[in-house]
Structure 1
Amino acid sequence: MTPPLRATIVPVTPIQQNCTIIWCTATMKAAVVDPGGDLPRIHAAIAQAGVTVEKILLTHGHIDHAGEAKPLADALGVAIEGPHEADRFWLARLAEDGKTYGIDGVPFEPDRWLVDGDTVTVGDLVLDVYETPGHTLGHVIFHHPASKLALVGDVLFQGSVGRSDMPGGNHQQLIRSVVDKLWPLGDETAFIPGHGAASNFAHERRTNMFVSDAALAA
């Protein structure tokens, strides 16, 4: 039986950020999540998947995740949804940050800011939105309950968590986001992070040096 959601990861930018294309297998409608750069690579992955992109989704406003969201949206004629409005600061300085990191950065405002409890659609799929501050103030994650899949941006990684030493970052807030927003989605939930390999919440609760049950109980 064909799963309702499929995903392919396209590492982009010198920071090797996981841009993810997710699509509804029933309609072949897709969303591009966090297109930070390397648009030719993203366009090629869209063509290879044979999907029609209907929107761009953003977890947060950092350059490696959002730098080329606006040029991609313009090229495809689609809207940008996310992140939370608290990341307006980062989206406004994409050109400046792009020069620092050698990435093309185009400032913009999304067509829709997202808040906790919102949903976003991709074809027939409905994904839940959760506010998960700590890495940035306006960070959000996307969860598809039926697929037991979450796209968590830079909140949680395999074996680590997102950095909290940039403006708007807060380590304790980040840990609370993981415990209060991610863990309740269920141990069996797999996640695609903003960098590195995919994992699942059960594995991280056993082994992650920052947010494992043992680490948090210490």
Structure 2
Amino acid sequence: MRYTIIPVTSYQQNCTLLVCEQTHKAALVDPGGDLDVLLEEVEKQKVELESILLTHGHMDHIGGVAELSTQLNLPIIGPHQDDDFWIQSLPEQCRMFGFPRCESFTPSRWLIDGDSVKVGNENLQVIHCPGHTPGHVVYFSATDRLTIVGDVLFKGSIGRTDFPRGDYQTLIDSIQLKLWPLGGDIAFIPGHGPMSTFGEEMRSNPFVGMR
């Protein structure tokens, strides 16, 4: 599976284009905005978008979803239904934070822990990782030893837990009990900033390092 990280919006949120190299089918993970930039990359790579995947319901990750889904008739997959209150409050989020106006939506499919999602012939395992938001999910490719973790984990840091229904200890448990067991060799794409590996974060992350 091939991936391309495309930072979008003033929040420089990492949208990821996932491509099955056998079928040239693709998915966009967390298309927060700047749809012209995203679609230009899709065209450049000559792939066919078949779905939108979401990690959680914050505006910088879902701001472009309704428009993109309507424009290309794409199914919206994820996150866990516990984030529905965030998705339905999207217009209010945008007003509060001066974000471009966005419409709320209802995903085509909610996800739960242990589900799987297909991108072409590639299979992604769904891991429910609450804490940053209650319905946050992570996508894991066992074949590629790759995860897309949204705002659960960053290089040298973790997601904020001071938003409604965020919880610090729940987030720590999600990382240490659900992500670390996947293995230190796992690379991850965070919602913001550079990639890292679970092993590097186990050694050096001040919030969740294994002491």
TM-score normalised per structure 1? 0.95
Aligned residue in 2 for 1:70: 66
1:22-171 alignment runs, 5 A limit: 22-101=18-97, 102-171=99-168
1:75 CA displacement: 1.3
Q: Does structure 2 retain, via aligned residues, the 8 Å contact 1:132–1:139?
A: yes
Q: Is the 8 A contact 1:204 1:212 kept in 2?
A: yes
1:35 is paired with a residue whose SS is coil
User: SS of the counterpart of 1:151?
Assistant: strand
Secondary structure, counterpart of 1:213 in structure 2: coil
User: What is the distance in 1 between the residues matched to 2:35 and 2:103?
Assistant: 13
**3, 16, 19: which one aligns with 1:20:** 16
Asked whether the 8 Å contact 1:96–1:105 carries over to 2, the reply is no
Shift of 1:68: 1.3
Asked if 2 retains the 8 angstrom alpha-carbon contact of 1:68 and 1:104, the reply is no
Unaligned runs of 5+ in 2: none
1:84, 1:129 → 2: CA distance?
Answer: 10
* Normalised TM-score (structure 2): 0.98
Aligned to 1:203: 200
Q: Match for residue 4 of structure 2?
A: 8
* TM-aligned CA deviation for residue 180 of structure 1: 1.1
Structure 2: how far apart are the matches of 1:169 and 1:81? 22
After superposing on structure 2, the runs of 4+ consecutive aligned residues of structure 1 that deviate more than 4 Å are: none
One-letter identity of the residue aligned with 1:25: E
RMSD after superposition: 0.7
**C-alpha offsets along residues 156-192 of structure 1, whole Å, 9 cap, x if unaligned?**
0000000000001000000000011111111100000
**Partner amino acid, structure 2, of 1:155:** V
Q: Percent identity?
A: 50
Displacement of 1:119: 0.2
Q: Deviations over 1:40-90 (max 9, x none)?
A: 111111111211010000000000001111111111111000000000000
Number of paired residues? 210
**Per-residue deviation, 1:100:** 2.5
User: For residue 43 of structure 1, what is the amino acid of its counterpart?
Assistant: L
